[in-house]
Amino acid sequence: MKQSIITLLLLLVTLTIGAQTDYSNMILSYSENREIFFHKYEPNLIIKAEYSSITEAENNYPEQLIQSILSATNQEWINYNTLGGAEKATEQNQSHFDRVLTMDKNKNFFKLHHKLTFTIGNIPTAIIKFFIHQEENEPVSGAVVMQKVDGRWQHTSNPTLSTLSIIVMRLKTTVLQGILLNDSEDKDIIALSKRVSSESGLDLQKLEDEFMSWYNPELDRYKIEMFIDPKAW
């Protein structure tokens, strides 16, 4: 798969992950300071269902996993893409696989906007914002969480990262870049960056708390208009 040129930048964040009481398919550790990388796809990277079989799906990179997810034409393939295998994978019926086999690849694809990569307990982790483009439907936003285990990237989910994945999906790319890299000249983004940072850098718990305050106890329409991608759900 040919990738577009991306912007790759680096900063230090405080990543707070509490002890888990469930056995969901996410490998987690306790609070830790980690480097986080921000990738901006310029232009947006289009991913199509171009794999014809599971043997092509090596999933060496997060983008390859997304291509594998879009290409999967049987349950074994979906299980392969999912951390935890069949026990954790979403079970699809044959009609879903039939649609994948017959869909027009040029009218049904993913468009990637930006990506965060970091480690949790030394496990490479990534969250990618994308839009699903389907013929005769408006594009729908989403975010996929994945981890690299056993030498390949696999799709995963866990309540601990659910709010962060929504933030990655909803924020405008310019806003996320500005608060991660402190490179914005916009006064609102500069103020936001200060509110969600500590002495060591970005504090993801502060970011999550800030994000939630825009919606509860009441909508902060000014901040939502300034920071949220209007095309994201």
**What are the sequence ranges of the domains in the chain?**
6-227
pTM of the shown model: 0.86
Lowest model confidence (mean pLDDT) among 10-24, 161-175, 189-203 = 10-24
57 has a pLDDT exceeding 90: yes
CB-based burial label for 108 (10 Å; 0-12, 13-18, 19+): middle
Q: What is the pLDDT of residues 110-135, one digit of tens each?
A: 999 999 999 888 899 999 999 999 99
Q: Which two tokens stand for residue 45?
A: 């990277």
Determine the 3-state secondary structure of 202 from DSSP.
strand
Residue 138: count other Cβ atoms within 10 Å of its Cβ. Answer: 9
Q: What is the pLDDT of residues 177-216, one digit of tens each?
A: 999 888 999 999 999 999 999 887 888 889 999 999 999 9
Rounded Cα distance between 41 and 52, Å, is 25
Q: Which two tokens stand for residue 81?
A: 């893409």
3 has a pLDDT exceeding 50: no
Among 232, 203, 228, 205, residue whose Cα is nearest residue 215: 228
Q: What's the pLDDT score for residue 29?
A: 38
Question: pLDDT confidence of 136, banded at 50, 70, 90?
Answer: confident
